[in-house]
Structure 1
Amino acid sequence: MAVLIEEVAVAETGSGPYALTSGPDGALWFTMVHGGSIGRLVPGGELSTHPLDPVCGPTIIVVGTDGALWFTEHRAHRIGRIALNGDVTEFALPTARCGPFGIAAGPDGALWFTETAADRIGRITTDGHVTEFPLPATGAFPSTITAGPDDGMWFTLNQANAIGRIGMDGAVTLHALPTESAAPVGIAAGHDGALWFAEIGAGQIGRITPDGRTTEFPLPDRTSRPHAITPDSTGALWFTEWAANRVGCISPDGAITVHELPTAGSEPHGISTGPDGSVWAALEIGTLARITTGPGV
């Protein structure tokens, strides 16, 4: 499989593009964790930036069921909403200094998010009503979260070495990982009915079925510190290797390929399929990487 990787400059060096998602308007929306802003890029076209509180630390961004973009403000301990016209609304959370990080739309129409510093999973409706659910673990550092195929929300517990599930009724189940100190971070639902996740501490990609069966796939470079993961249109999963300056791809049967990024030290973090069908990665150096595959690239 031929792979072409191109970088698109979207911000000043140091502003830290961190996570991205494909919006309903045909644009990529992304967070700038150090610059305190939200960016919008139409592939091959318009770039715009929407400033926030410079120190709020926007991290993960997703599309809500209301057609707006929702994001976590990790340092300001808030949930943000940005409409397609750029209007921003911010919602304070009940628990002080809870450190929201991951966020995802749930099957109930609400947004579900992790509270890294409070050992809780939060739920916010599109009109701003917040409910928090305590986890049966202390110091677990719940990180990213995604909707599963079973009407539950699945999340990584970075410091508890586990994958968790929370139902719409708030019931929580934890699944311990086979590898000690795996430190899972990114998680995404695959097209195969399982959840796939990145083990930043072990240099592995994991797969867990809704009934809790786990398989782990060691990467060629166990020190690469895989961070985020996303499915593409073919059913393969793409992931970032933060410490190795690479992106990788794993097929549903576990075959792995990795690809060097054009610029050294680019610090890849978030990754998502874009509105143009390509896979895009957020690079902290101030760029987005467009990854195109196929015989003609």
Structure 2
Amino acid sequence: MIGEISVAGPGAGPYGVTTGPDGALWFTLNQAGAIGRIDLGGAVTVHELPTAGAGPVGIAAGTDGALWFVEIAAGQVGRITPDGAIREFPLPDRGARPHAIVADPAGGCWFTEWAANRIGHVGPHGVFRHYDLPTPASEPHGIAVALDGTVCAVLETGGVARLVP
């Protein structure tokens, strides 16, 4: 059986989804500028982001008990706790268009900077590091961390970038 749950009305633009530390499903609402939560009973809670038009896309459960997300339109990385407290961290390059995000087992998160041709890292307190990709205009999208800590990002140019931190 497959069912659907309405999350925030037509045009909300649900995008990324992950399981949170509380066992609920957490998701981004790109067009609504919000982060949503669905508990195991199907109840939906929506948390509006402080930045209007932020355009959240990727979301990941962090190792710090919170969820991390990227705001493609605002050029920010955000963090939300299970109780709904939100903190946003503006990227040094607000036009970088962060797209995907994954938890770093050592703390913080790795994310792609689609328009800036980089992979970025944000620590738990909002300190950024950035790594330029060797191929111009490779447009990194999805990102993962391998068991050995290697960061891999898939590129629209047809390759995979590997970063050994």
Q: TM-score, normalised by structure 2?
A: 0.97
Cα distance in 1 for partners of 2:67, 2:108 equals 12
The question of whether the paired residues in 2 share the 8 Å contact of 1:195 and 1:208 is answered with: yes
Report the Cα distance in structure 2 between the residues aligned to 1:276 and 1:192, rounded to whole angstroms.
20
Q: Structure 1: which 5+ runs fail to align? A: 1-128
Pairwise CA distance, 1:263:
0.2
Identify the residue that residue 55 of structure 2 maps to in structure 1. 183
Which residues of structure 2 form unaligned runs of 5+?
none
Aligned match for 1:149, one of 21, 24, 33: 21
1:259 Cα deviation from its structure 2 partner: 1.1
Asked whether 1:256 is paired with 2:128, we answer: yes
Give the greater-gyration-radius structure (CA): 1
Matched, 1:204 2:76: yes
* Aligned equivalent of 2:106: 234
Q: Give me the whole-angstrom Cα distance separating, in 1, the residues matched to 2:161 and 2:2.
A: 35
Task: Provide the rounded CA distance (Å) in 2 between the counterparts of 1:224 and 1:131.
Answer: 37
Q: Is the 8 A contact 1:139 1:159 kept in 2?
A: yes
- Counterpart of 1:289 in structure 2 is 161
What is the distance in 1 between the residues matched to 2:8 and 2:86? 20
Give me the CA root mean square deviation: 0.9
Task: Give SS of 1:132's match.
Answer: coil
CA displacement at 1:132 relative to structure 2:
1.2
Equivalent residue letter for 1:148: G
- Counterpart residue type for residue 253 of structure 1: H
On the 8 A contact 2:7/2:36 being kept in 1, the answer is no
Q: After superposition, give the CA deviation of every residue in 1:55-101 in whole Å (9 maximum; x if it has no partner).
A: xxxxxxxxxxxxxxxxxxxxxxxxxxxxxxxxxxxxxxxxxxxxxxx
Amino acid at match of 1:197: F
Cα distance between partner residues in 2 of 1:212 and 1:234: 23
| 1:273 matches 2:138 | no
Write the letter of the residue equivalent to 2:57: V
Paired residues for 1:1-297 under 5 Å = 129-293=1-165
Does the 8 A contact of 1:146 with 1:154 survive in 2? yes
Aligned-partner Cα distance in 2 for 1:242–1:136: 27
Give the % identical residues: 59
Equivalent AA in structure 1 for residue 86 of structure 2: T
Report how far residue 169 of structure 1 moved.
Answer: 1.2
Deviation at 1:275, TM superposition (A): 4.0
Given that 2:19 and 2:26 are in contact with CA atoms closer than 8 Å, whether structure 1 keeps it comes out as yes
1:178 CA displacement: 0.2
Highest RCO, 1 vs 2 (Cα 8 Å, sep ≥ 6)? 1
**Residue 200 of structure 1 aligns to which amino acid in structure 2?**
I
Shift of 1:236: 2.4
Per the alignment, in what secondary structure is the counterpart of residue 115 of structure 2?
coil
For 1:221, the aligned partner's letter is: D
CA distance in 1, matches of 2:150, 2:132: 17
